[in-house]
């Protein structure tokens, strides 16, 4: 085991060697998926010798909401988590784009399904470039025959490890069927989201995205794009139900998420979107987003946390 680029991880208050970051197999985190987490990106700005973490406070805020909803106790304050994250990055000395995973675990030894303590926490910061090989040319996607989990069963609003069984089933099925990725409908047959990202479509020049009550994770990238569409591009996105057939006739469709960033979709269930070409609004919002996260756009400084002071 080991990671060529990562020396330290954070586990339960300590910075430990990559190989030492272990928990027991009988913890509720392993047995029942009782882990809530966040995925955050850090962007390296070579000219300024700086690594900017994107919307760190908002991710920590969502982490605290996930803990609240799953009866997990708050181990540290937001400020303490921030300090741990920044120290971990400095200890590893990253000077490249990274992805940070922060996990809150229920680590009672052979704990029962309802145990809520003791709690543990882990942070990993790993180098991560663009994750989709087709982020320029666009993906072919399937609408899954699986339905998205619901707020009445395992709420997608909670960023909980157990929720990703639903994503996994849908994504593996799509992959076995020969597609690059997947779109999942909710129990009402309306679009919810991808396996690990939110979705926008564009119709008649208007960006449209499922509303927060369509069984989605309330994505921070989704929120950023709503701001950027309004404030930078002059378009007013609509949040509403999206039918399956709207996907097939949309002018543009794209995924968005912290790890994914903005990735175009050029075919859905074999229907070509805009003749299989990446659309102009997708390209515009993508470059706008990348300028903001990297810090090439001086606006939205409040969304960037510099690591190296
Ligand atoms: N939906 C799901 C299911 C996800 O896993 C993610 C990635 N965290 C998103 C949406 C996008 O969320 P964010 O933009 O906050 O990364």
Helix axis angle for 56-69 and 78-92, nearest 10°, is 120
Active site residue 7: no
10 Å CB burial of residue 298 (0-12, 13-18, 19+) is exposed
Catalytic residue among 31, 95, 159, 302: 159
The pLDDT of residue 157: 98
For residue 110, report the distance from its CA to the centre of ligand 1, in Å: 30
Q: Is 198 in the pocket of ligand 1 (CB under 6 A)?
A: yes
Q: What is the band of 2 on the pLDDT scale with cuts at 50, 70, 90? A: confident
- N-to-C CA span, the chain: 33
Q: Is 209 in the pocket of ligand 1 (CB under 6 A)?
A: no
Q: What is the band of 75 on the pLDDT scale with cuts at 50, 70, 90? A: confident
Closest residue by CA, ligand 1 atom 9: 197
Instruction: Give the whole-angstrom CA distance, residue 214 versus residue 269.
Output: 21
Query: What would the mean pLDDT of 168-195 be, rounded to a whole number?
Result: 98
Query: What would the mean pLDDT of 292-299 be, rounded to a whole number?
Result: 94
**Nearest one of 265, 273, 276, 256 to 138, comparing CA atoms:** 265
Instruction: Give the whole-angstrom CA distance, residue 67 versus residue 100.
Output: 18
Closest residue by CA, ligand 1 atom 4: 196
Query: What would the mean pLDDT of 124-138 be, rounded to a whole number?
Result: 92
Q: Is 39 in the pocket of ligand 1 (CB under 6 A)?
A: yes
Q: Is 224 in the pocket of ligand 1 (CB under 6 A)?
A: no
Res 1 pLDDT > 80: no
**126 Cβ contact partners less than 8 Å away, ≥ 6 residues apart:** 3, 5, 6, 98, 99, 101
For residue 112, report the distance from its CA to the centre of ligand 1, in Å: 29
Q: Which atom of ligand 1 is nearest to the CA of 167?
A: 3
Q: Is 197 in the pocket of ligand 1 (CB under 6 A)?
A: yes
The pLDDT of residue 126: 97
Query: pTM for this one?
Result: 0.97
Q: Indicate the pairing of strand 304-306 with strand 181-185.
A: unpaired
């Amino acid at each position: 085991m080991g990671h060529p680029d990562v020396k330290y991880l954070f586990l339960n208050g300590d910075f430990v060697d990559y190989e030492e970051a272990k928990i027991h197999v009988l913890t509720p985190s392993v047995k029942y998926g009782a882990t809530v987490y966040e995925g955050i990106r850090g962007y390296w700005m070579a000219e300024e010798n700086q690594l900017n973490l994107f919307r760190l406070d908002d991710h920590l805020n969502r982490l605290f909401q996930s803990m609240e909803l799953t009866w997990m106790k708050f181990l540290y304050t937001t400020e303490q988590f921030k300090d741990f994250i920044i120290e971990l990055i400095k200890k590893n000395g990253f000077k490249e784009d990274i992805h940070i995973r922060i996990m809150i675990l229920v680590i009672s030894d052979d704990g029962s399904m309802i145990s809520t303590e003791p709690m543990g926490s882990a942070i990993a910061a790993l180098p991560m470039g663009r994750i989709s090989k087709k982020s320029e040319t666009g993906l072919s996607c399937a609408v899954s025959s699986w339905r998205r989990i619901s707020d009445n069963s395992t709420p997608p609003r909670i960023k909980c490890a157990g929720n990703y069984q639903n994503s996994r089933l849908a994504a593996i099925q799509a992959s076995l069927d020969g597609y690059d990725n997947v779109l999942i409908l909710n129990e009402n047959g309306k679009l919810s989201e991808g396996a690990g990202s939110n979705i926008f479509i564009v119709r008649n020049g208007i960006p449209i995205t499922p509303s927060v009550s369509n069984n989605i994770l309330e994505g921070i990238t989704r929120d950023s794009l709503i701001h950027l569409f309004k404030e930078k591009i002059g378009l007013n996105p609509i949040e509403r139900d999206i039918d399956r057939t709207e996907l097939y006739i949309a002018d543009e469709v794209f995924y968005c998420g912290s790890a994914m960033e903005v990735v175009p979709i050029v075919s859905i269930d074999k229907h070509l979107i805009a003749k299989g070409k990446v659309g102009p609004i997708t390209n515009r919002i993508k470059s706008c987003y990348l300028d903001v996260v990297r810090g090439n756009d001086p606006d939205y400084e409040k969304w960037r946390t510099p690591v190296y002071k």
